[in-house]
Structure 1
Amino acid sequence: MVAKIKSGKSLIGALHYNENKVKAGKAKLIATNGYVKSHEKLSFYDKLFRLKDLAGRNFRTKTNTVHLSLNFDVSEQIDDDKLTAIADVYMKKIGFEWQPYLIYKHFDAGHPHIHIITTNIEADGSRISLHNIGRLVSEPARKEIELEFGLIQADSKKDLNKQIERALVKPLVYGSTDTKRAMTNIVNEVIQQYKFTSLPEFNAILKLYNIEADRGTKESVMFDKAGLRYWALDNHGIRVGVPIKASAIYRKPTLKLLEDQFRLGEYLRKPFKDKVKSRIDSAISKASTKDKFIDELKRRGIKGMFRENAEGRIYGVTYVDLENKVVFNGSDLGKNYSAGSTINMIQNNDEATSQYYGSIGDQEKDLQIENSLDSNSKFSRSILDELLSPTDLSGSENLFERRKKKKRRKLNL
């Protein structure tokens, strides 16, 4: 289990976040603590005013909102009653047993998790200290709860965070998940796993997950200041929604960080160069059209992407080796692997195929003529055979003898 604690100054903001998830069908309120009504009968204002009432008893404390989450391993199936019990024990162990709080179960991630909203202002107006609460209080409580409830133990917060993030790495579907969260997981996973040397190569991978990194136009202030933002894409590669600044994403995948990755990728991808070239050669030998070439690459674990300008003219090609997590621009592999050379080789294959089938067609025509001549020859021979057959010959002899006898009679006269 991983516990994350965030403090803030807006109870209504934290409540709106969870209630909006409920309206979208991505969360539900499963339990409360310190409320008179049952959780099913609470209105939005019932939930808010109970917390605001306590927060208002200490005007000097501006940070009066506590919004935490308990995250569990992706393989764990935990029902609502057990989640509520875990939440209650955890809140008791960190000193919030007598505070009112709301427990929301969320469905917008690939792992089970709950969100809890409360305030750190007590009934007498005193403040529960949040200083180092994560390290000094929450971590020991987390480990005890893992043993008490038989949960999968996290060796560290970092390790389980990685599990959670990798479980979520699949193409972003805009509107179906929390965009910023999904984008954060995908971008960080791509940076960690893939070897690339330029922004276009980085984008070649991101586009497989419906994301694009953008520097803006060359005339923009963002481009001049080396800024970077990330867009969500639809299934047709069209930008949707509002872009998210790199600095707003966890681990801050800014252009400066990416440039360090570019230099590292140049070195790390070298051992895979010949293997990628070999598979491309094999794909080219089997392809007679660009689409067939892309299909052949796919069968060999490579995603091939031709780049076209506004006029539809191909000016580049990028290869993403999905097995070895490495990216190459065609020209980086050698002159023969550039977009122009690749298209020429594919067209040559097509012409060779056409000539081959054309020659087969000529051979068939020759065979038809030969068969025709052979047939005529057989017909001629059959007539000749009839004329020269023994029966016909005997008949010819009899006719000759009759004519000879008639001629002799005439001579006798």
Structure 2
Amino acid sequence: MVAKIKSGKSLIGALNYNERKVAKGTAKLIAAVRYSKDMDKLNFHDKLLRLTDLAAGNERTKTNTVHISLNFPNGERLSDDRLQQITQDYMIGIGFDGQPYLVYRHEDAGHPHIHIVTTNIKSDGERISLHYLGQNQSEKARKEIEVKYQLTKAEDQKLQKPDMKAGVKAADYGQEETKRSITNILGYVVRTYKFTSLPELNAVLQQYHIAADQGSKDSRMYARSGLMYWMLDSKGNKIGVPIKASSIYGKPTLKALEERFKLNATLRKPFKKNLIKVLDEMLKHPLTAQQLQKQLWAKGVQIILRRNEEGRLYGVTFIDKNNKAVFNGSDLGKTYSANQLATKLLPEPKQNRQTQTDDWSPTATDHGQSIRSQLLDVLFEAEQQDLAALNKFKRKKRKGLNL
């Protein structure tokens, strides 16, 4: 368990933060301690006035808001009752056992966590000191709770970081909380794949039913270099509510990704020559688009062909699954650009034209087994090289990457 304590001057701001999550359906109130009404009968003003009435008892203290989050690793699923017990023990441990407080369970991130909203002003107007609260009382309480409830120790988990070692599966809208699913997939893809542009990143993300979106070129989001992430349905259409890049763990914003693009341009270079060799060998003989896709897949390479409404090929992306490297066709050379490739591909037989798809994949069974194999086969040696290169790149920049 990891505890984070934030103090501030706005009780209404802390309460609003959690209530907005409740309104969106990504959080719920699971406890209202030392309130005169039952939890389900409290309205917004009831929740706020209980805290502000106490805060008004000490007008000299401006910092009267305490907003705490207790974070648990992926896989540690706790019932509401157990979370209430943990919260009670924690509040006693930090000296807030006599205070009213609200507990919200959040389901909007890549890890389970709760938020606690309270005030440090007691009923007699005395202020509870927040000095070294996190370092002293909170740490002691946290360790005792971990032992009592057999929780994963904070030292054994990375704060709020999704578990990528087991790989990830494609998003399935409605089966898992949207933000959590997007966070897990993004964390895995950004960490393991070497892409140098947003279209290349999307070529990978779309295999997991996720898409990064800048908005239309005349939109305010595009003008401000904003970025949103969507879930996609089985046909590639956007579905549900988009998630802001800045609200996702690691903050995969466009600015941060652009720094990653520069690094990946160097990291993917060693794999370019071999990919060209594989392509040259296959293009020696005339092939249809589907034949080329099937043969490349057998070599661990996925080719994504993009066509306009008239059927003209205008874009091609190669994903080297073995080395997690992504290349736009023209990056490999003019020979492999969409225009040149279109002149080499044979037309599909008439009986296949009805079912022809630009993004070919094996049968559902084979595809599922292949994806699982690829995700479990995270190349630890390649990741170590990535991290070493990333550290070297950081030293050259005043700002480090936040991915």
- TM bracket (short chain): 0.5 to 0.7
Alignment match, 1:228: 225
Structure 1 residues 223-250: Cα deviation after superposition (integer angstroms, max 9, x where no partner):
6xxx521133443355986784x66665
Alignment match, 1:96: 96
Secondary structure of the 1:124 match is coil
Alignment match, 2:387: none
User: 1:96–1:337: structure 2 CA closer, same or farther, 3 Å change rule?
Assistant: same
How far apart in 1 are the matches of 2:246 and 2:301? 32
How far apart in 1 are the matches of 2:163 and 2:119? 27
Alignment match, 1:381: none
For the 8 Å contact 2:215–2:221, the answer to whether it is kept is no
Alignment match, 2:112: 112
For the 8 Å contact 1:109–1:168, the answer to whether it is kept is no
Alignment match, 2:85: 85
Alignment match, 1:404: none
Alignment match, 1:379: none
Question: Which structure is larger by alpha-carbon Rg, 1 or 2?
Answer: 1
How far off its partner does 1:160 sit? 3.9
Alignment match, 2:380: none
Secondary structure of the 1:51 match is helix
Identity %: 47
Query: Which letter does structure 2 place at the counterpart of 1:230?
Result: L
User: 1:40–1:256: structure 2 CA closer, same or farther, 3 Å change rule?
Assistant: closer
How far apart in 2 are the matches of 1:345 and 1:199? 27
**170-179 vs 182-191, greater mean Cα deviation:** 170-179
For the 8 Å contact 1:285–1:349, the answer to whether it is kept is no
Alignment match, 2:203: 204
Alignment match, 1:74: 74
Secondary structure of the 2:103 match is strand
How far off its partner does 1:317 sit? 0.9
Q: 1:127-138 to 2 correspondence within 5 Å?
A: 127-138=127-138
For the 8 Å contact 1:111–1:164, the answer to whether it is kept is no
How far apart in 2 are the matches of 1:65 and 1:286? 71
Secondary structure of the 1:273 match is helix
How far apart in 1 are the matches of 2:70 and 2:290? 47
User: 1:213–1:302: structure 2 CA closer, same or farther, 3 Å change rule?
Assistant: farther
Query: Which letter does structure 2 place at the counterpart of 1:155?
Result: E
Structure 1 residues 334-368: Cα deviation after superposition (integer angstroms, max 9, x where no partner):
444322343334317969x9xxxxxxxxxxxxxxx
Q: Larger helix proportion, structure 1 or 2? A: 1
How far off its partner does 1:197 sit? 2.4
Q: Does 1:161 align with 2:160?
A: yes
**104-113 vs 80-89, greater mean Cα deviation:** 104-113
How far apart in 2 are the matches of 1:77 and 1:314? 47
Query: Which letter does structure 1 place at the counterpart of 2:103?
Result: I
For the 8 Å contact 1:228–1:255, the answer to whether it is kept is yes
Alignment match, 1:333: 332
What 5-or-longer segments of structure 1 have no aligned partner? 354-413
How far off its partner does 1:100 sit? 0.7
What 5-or-longer segments of structure 2 have no aligned partner? 353-403
Q: 1:3-402 to 2 correspondence within 5 Å?
A: 3-22=3-22, 25-109=25-109, 111-155=111-155, 159-163=158-162, 171=171, 173=173, 177=177, 187=186, 189-208=188-207, 209-214=209-214, 217=217, 227-233=224-230, 234-235=232-233, 236-237=236-237, 244=244, 251-253=250-252, 255-277=254-276, 288-291=287-290, 293-294=292-293, 297-298=296-297, 301-308=300-307, 313-347=312-346
How far apart in 2 are the matches of 1:273 and 1:248? 34
TM-score, normalising length: structure 1: 0.66
Alignment match, 1:377: none
Secondary structure of the 1:155 match is helix
How far off its partner does 1:279 sit? 5.8
How far apart in 2 are the matches of 1:119 and 1:148? 27
**58-67 vs 272-281, greater mean Cα deviation:** 272-281
**131-140 vs 259-268, greater mean Cα deviation:** 131-140
How far apart in 2 are the matches of 1:199 and 1:27? 31
For the 8 Å contact 1:232–1:240, the answer to whether it is kept is no
How far off its partner does 1:318 sit? 1.0
User: 1:20–1:150: structure 2 CA closer, same or farther, 3 Å change rule?
Assistant: same
How far off its partner does 1:120 sit? 2.2
How far off its partner does 1:271 sit? 3.1
Secondary structure of the 2:85 match is helix
Structure 1 residues 167-196: Cα deviation after superposition (integer angstroms, max 9, x where no partner):
8885485998465x7666655554332212
**279-288 vs 189-198, greater mean Cα deviation:** 279-288
Query: Which letter does structure 2 place at the counterpart of 1:149?
Result: Y
Query: Which letter does structure 1 place at the counterpart of 2:228?
Result: W
Paired positions, count: 346
Alignment match, 1:397: none
How far apart in 2 are the matches of 1:55 and 1:213? 43
User: 1:50–1:200: structure 2 CA closer, same or farther, 3 Å change rule?
Assistant: same
